[in-house]
Amino acid sequence: MRPRGSAKSSAAPTSSRLHPASSSFARALGLPEPAFAHVPILHGPDGRRLAKRHGAVTLAERRERGESPAEVRSWLAASVGLAEPGDAADTAGLLARFKPERLSGCATRLGFDELTPAAA
Q: What is the CATH number of the domain that holds 10?
A: 3.40.50.620
Predicted local confidence at residue 1, as pLDDT: 47
In a domain, 48, yes or no: yes
Structurally, how many domains does the chain consist of? 1
Bridge-based pairing state of the strands 2-5 and 36-39: parallel
Predicted local confidence at residue 83, as pLDDT: 85
Query: Taking the complete model, does pTM exceed 0.85, yes or no?
Result: no
CA–CA distance, 34 with 2 (Å, rounded to integer): 7
**Percent of the chain whose pLDDT exceeds 70:** 75
In a domain, 92, yes or no: yes
pLDDT digits (tens, 9 = 90+) for 50-104: 777 777 677 888 888 888 888 888 888 888 888 888 888 888 988 888 888 777 7
pLDDT, greater one: 17 or 108? 108
Question: Which residue segment(s) compose the domain that 45 sits in?
Answer: 2-115
Mean pLDDT of the chain: 74
Please calculate the CA angle 115-116-117 and round it to the nearest 5 degrees. 115
